[in-house]
């Protein structure tokens, strides 16, 4: 085999390897997109139940009058922020 033939074979192999890696990357991107879409659909379909649960947490904390405990105040703040985010996902009343 001549030097040029060997170089050509090497280049051909490299191109095939790069194409195979590109195909794997594309498949990985498609898989991630599918997983994100499924996750989004799950959150959207569960938004009413999640909202009810979060509101229940707020009611329980409010009834216990725990506003002076810093950790509870942080939880209430986080729950209120989640409720605000879920408000956009809820069906129009």
Average pLDDT value for residue range 25-39: 95
CA distance 32 to 40: 12
Residue 13 binned pLDDT confidence (cut-offs 50, 70, 90) = very high
Q: For residues 68 and 20, which has the higher predicted lDDT (pLDDT)?
A: 20
Helix (H) or strand (E) segment spanning residue 80:
helix 70-87
Average pLDDT of the residues of the chain: 84
Residue 12 binned pLDDT confidence (cut-offs 50, 70, 90) = very high
pLDDT digits (tens, 9 = 90+) for 67-82: 667 777 788 788 888 8
Predicted TM-score (pTM) of the model is 0.55
Domain range list for the chain:
3-87
CA distance 24 to 30: 10
């Amino acid at each position: 085999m001549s030097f040029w033939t060997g170089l050509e074979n090497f280049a051909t192999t490299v191109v095939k390897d790069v194409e195979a890696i590109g195909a794997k990357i594309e498949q990985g991107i498609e898989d991630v997109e599918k997983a994100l879409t499924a996750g989004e659909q799950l959150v959207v379909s569960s938004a009413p139940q999640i909202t009810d649960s979060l509101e229940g947490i707020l009611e329980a904390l409010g009834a216990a009058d725990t506003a002076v405990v810093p950790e509870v105040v942080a939880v209430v703040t986080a729950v209120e922020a989640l409720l605000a985010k879920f408000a956009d996902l809820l069906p129009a009343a």
